Structure 1
Amino acid sequence: MSVKTRILIVSDTHNQTFEIKDIHKTADVVIHCGDMSLYSNLADYQRVLETICQLPAKLKLCIAGNHDMGIDEGNFDKHLASRLDMDVRWGINKGEEVVRKEFGPLGEPRRLLAAAAKAGGVQFLEEGNYEFKLNNGAFLRLYASPYTPAKWRGRAFQYTYDEGHEFAIADNTQIVVTHGPPRGILDYTDGNQRAGCPQLYAAVAQARPLIHCFGHIHEAWGAKFVQWKETFSTGARRSARLSTHTEIDPDTTVILEQVQDLFAQKNDDAATVQAKAAKREEYTRQGYYYTSHCAGDARPIAQGKQTLMLDASYDYSESRKEILKHQWPFVVDIELPIAKDG
């Protein structure tokens, strides 16, 4: 037995907030995939948490991202020094006293998160596995992690590619929430480089959740319906050597939406450019991208067989010629198992 469940997913709001639309009012779960702030200003956290608190969904979850430096308390002094250095290098020159006040003292971002939990039911998730009984009677098993790879560990919750990271996703997990993408899926940067994590891909390829949502690579915003091959490749199933070529069926895996299909490309004719502009206007008007993957839909999702991959980065990429104020959250319908009594 299963129950239809609606999930609102957004990431990388930074110093922006997002509008509340009618369809959001029926969401069962809200998920924010990290980077609530831009440079870890307390005002950024306050703004997005106030928005999430107002959403009437019963379960509201958020994780940190690499920009949420004040939440990474184990490296607080390093991140504060980095923030001070950034302002000097970029010629902002607000003065150390102002920057320290914006950044806040040790523990202040988590105090704001605790206040949001009390005022609006927002739950901040550390890395790990979680289980929830939803208000609609569904049972949700979820894994969360804020960690992302980088050439050097310059910001919050980062590791180098040489170090790697273990993503210990529990069996039968329905939703994986990470800040960064897996290697090979919605992870191309504007420089045409893949920025996803191979260890994360290997862990997700083993767990095969219903949804894997993330952000971090803003220009890779989009949705991909992944069809897994029936059998795993030989060798270590969590091996970083696993790739999209070994685990994913290319014939039935499809891109549902991506940035390239929304913004004019070099070889687009006039009709294509106009159609893309119309699609952007429609998404902006309704305030979200909607997709449904329940029984009876064109592409239903079954545990262990398909995964909906979502880069829900809200903040837009300034490198585009057709500038938007933001991209779009995702509203997704899936079916989750009914929670057993007790």
Structure 2
Amino acid sequence: MRIVCISDTHSMHRQVDVPDGDLLIHAGDSLGTGSLRELEDLDQWFAELPHANKILIAGNHDWCFEDDPEEARSRVRHAHYLEDSAIELEGLTFWGSPWTPVFFNWAFNLKRGKPLAKRWAKIPEATDILITHGPPAGILDRVDTQKGTLRPGCEDLAAKVETLELKLHIFGHIHEDHGQEIIGDCRYINASTCNGHFKPLNPPIVVDL
């Protein structure tokens, strides 16, 4: 299976040169203002792509999925939308979740500690590929500022991931740390398409399983 990973396109998806593959995964922040109209355009774009399957999760900019979930879900016709839920494709189990630690009160924000840990506790042990919007703490979550380096990834997600036998963990959210890292048997992918200046210049990441 050839998996193509993107994230954080912020309604600039039509500016992205997406390689062919079997599965396209979008790890959230697909929208700009989070409107249903933006979502309809995204879904039409999915329909135009050749990948046999697409998986979409929400991110902190994707307000319509939190504010009007039934309407938003009804508009996703050409991708599998996951929200604390799973799907099996070609013998692999995928789990998707949109939650990130509180940051300026965006969508799908939860306080660090118990509120987030409860969400991560739902991830089944049998998960092969985990898709979250944000990274686990300390992995591809680096932001360099004038005041120093920040690592805003989620500690509770990192703790949960350590208990799983994942093949891939795909996320975005931290535009500045696009790339991939292999730790143990798991490949971690920060697939943020937009860079730190909100320009869609980071290339999709392709993985063959």
Summarize the alignment of residues 231-270 of structure 1 with structure 2, pairs less than 5 Å apart: none
1:327 corresponds, among 194, 199, 202, to 202
Residue aligned with 1:207, SS:
coil
Q: CA deviation at 1:202?
A: 1.2
Aligned twin of 1:169: 123
The runs of 4+ residues in structure 1 deviating greater than 4 Å are none
Residue aligned with 1:47, SS:
helix
Aligned twin of 1:110: 73
Q: Could you tell me how far apart the structure 1 residues matched to 2:196 and 2:82 are?
A: 27
Q: CA deviation at 1:150?
A: 1.6
Aligned twin of 1:234: none
Residue aligned with 1:50, SS:
helix
Q: CA deviation at 1:177?
A: 0.4
1:128 corresponds, among 64, 74, 85, to 85
Aligned twin of 1:205: 162
Aligned twin of 1:29: 23
**Which structure 2 segments of 5+ residues have no match?**
none
Aligned: 1:310 with 2:189: yes
Could you say which structure has the higher helix fraction? 1
Aligned twin of 2:182: 225
Per the normalisation by structure 1, the TM-score is 0.55
Q: CA deviation at 1:162?
A: 4.3
1:156 corresponds, among 107, 116, 121, to 107
Shifted more, 160-169 versus 33-42: the winner is 160-169
Could you say which structure has the higher strand fraction? 2
Q: Could you tell me how far apart the structure 1 residues matched to 2:152 and 2:167 are?
A: 23
Q: Could you tell me how far apart the structure 1 residues matched to 2:176 and 2:202 are?
A: 10
Q: Could you tell me how far apart the structure 2 residues matched to 1:150 and 1:109 are?
A: 23
Q: Could you tell me how far apart the structure 2 residues matched to 1:220 and 1:164 are?
A: 26
Aligned twin of 2:96: 144
Q: Could you tell me how far apart the structure 2 residues matched to 1:20 and 1:183 are?
A: 29
Q: Could you tell me how far apart the structure 2 residues matched to 1:164 and 1:151 are?
A: 14
**Which structure 1 segments of 5+ residues have no match?**
77-105, 133-137, 228-305, 335-342
2:12 corresponds, among 12, 16, 25, to 16
Q: Could you tell me how far apart the structure 1 residues matched to 2:50 and 2:200 are?
A: 25
Q: CA deviation at 1:151?
A: 4.8
Q: Could you tell me how far apart the structure 2 residues matched to 1:19 and 1:197 are?
A: 28
Q: Could you tell me how far apart the structure 1 residues matched to 2:92 and 2:10 are?
A: 27
Aligned twin of 1:95: none
RMSD after superposition: 2.0
AA in 1 matched with 2:55: L
Q: Could you tell me how far apart the structure 1 residues matched to 2:49 and 2:177 are?
A: 26
Per the normalisation by structure 2, the TM-score is 0.88
Q: Name the larger-Rg structure.
A: 1
